[in-house]
């Protein structure tokens, strides 16, 4: 179906990235859109401190999705955005991190445009960069890796065999691996990486609830990662980082330098 021509009488719908948690990491444009919004459709991972920046008159509609929990159907979210926007309200879809990084932002843009609505996307700092940086890990460092791969450890429910990440190819790539939504499948994905030839001694990290008061992290090796996560009971949301860049982490790097001087 050909999208209808956008109406000049409707406000654009804003898809805004709320960043990893700390409101100080919002972009200026994100802050302006949050303060001006009349209806906010909010994801579960948006920090309450960010929501506190909204107008007291704004209506907050919680439409979050969390693995293993009852979630709002994506189609309903589309319909709700369209209905509110057509009413003439300033509608903001507020998403944790960045709207286009594992956030279904592209699906929502397609649905809004198909309904004849204008859409504005406001990028946010994604947790895949901000969480490692919070403990001194650069996801790219020319001394350690030729690049970085952002991948999901969570496959679609309807995905068939071979539709998930190709862990064997990723193991051979030499890239830093930054894995979203990987806690539930950490044993399987680490086993796949090691079976493909990635050393069990490869440095690894997990950072949970980055840039919030609840942040916690662990540093270990790929071979220890699953057991350490279970022992320390790190909970989602968490980012996994696998690769030599983890050796730059605060604490681990200082310890390595001290050992080298001894």
- In Å, what is the CA distance from 201 to each residue of 12, 133, 184, 198, 244? 50, 22, 22, 8, 10
Q: Which residues of 224-248 are buried (b: 16+ CB within 10 A; e: fewer)?
A: bbbebbeeeebebbbbbbbbebbbb
Interatomic CA distance for residues 154 and 70, integer angstroms? 16
Could you give the residue numbers annotated as active site?
43, 65, 181
262 by Cβ neighbours in 10 Å (0-12 / 13-18 / 19+) ranks as: exposed
What token pair was written down for 128? Answer: 């895949």
Alpha helices, H only, the chain: 28-36, 48-51, 74-86, 105-114, 127-133, 167-173, 186-195, 225-232, 252-261
**Contact call for residues 26 and 122 (beta carbons, < 8 A):** no
């Amino acid at each position: 179906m050909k999208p209808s021509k956008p109406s000049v009488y409707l406000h654009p719908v804003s898809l805004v990235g709320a960043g990893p948690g700390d409101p100080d990491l919002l972009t200026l444009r994100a802050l302006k859109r949050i303060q001006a919004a009349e209806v906010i459709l909010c994801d579960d991972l948006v920090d309450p401190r960010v929501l506190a920046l909204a107008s007291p008159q704004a209506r907050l509609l919680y439409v979050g999705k969390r693995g293993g929990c009852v979630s709002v159907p994506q189609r309903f979210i589309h319909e709700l955005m369209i209905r509110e926007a057509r009413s003439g309200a300033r509608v903001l879809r507020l998403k944790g991190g960045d709207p286009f990084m594992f956030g279904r932002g592209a699906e929502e843009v397609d649905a809004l445009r198909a309904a004849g609505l204008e859409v504005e996307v406001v990028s946010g700092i994604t947790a895949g960069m901000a969480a490692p940086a919070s403990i001194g890990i650069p996801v790219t460092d020319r001394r350690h890796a030729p690049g970085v791969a952002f991948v999901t450890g969570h496959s679609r429910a309807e995905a068939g065999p071979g539709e998930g990440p190709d862990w064997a190819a990723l193991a051979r790539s030499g890239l830093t691996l930054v894995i979203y939504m990987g806690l539930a499948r950490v044993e399987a994905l680490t086993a796949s990486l090691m079976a493909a030839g990635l050393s069990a001694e490869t440095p690894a990290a997990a950072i949970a609830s980055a840039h919030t008061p609840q942040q916690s992290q662990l540093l270990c090796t790929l071979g220890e990662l699953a057991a350490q996560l279970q022992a320390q009971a790190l909970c989602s949301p968490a980012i996994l980082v696998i690769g030599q860049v983890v050796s730059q982490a605060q604490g681990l790097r200082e310890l390595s330098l001290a050992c080298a001087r001894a």
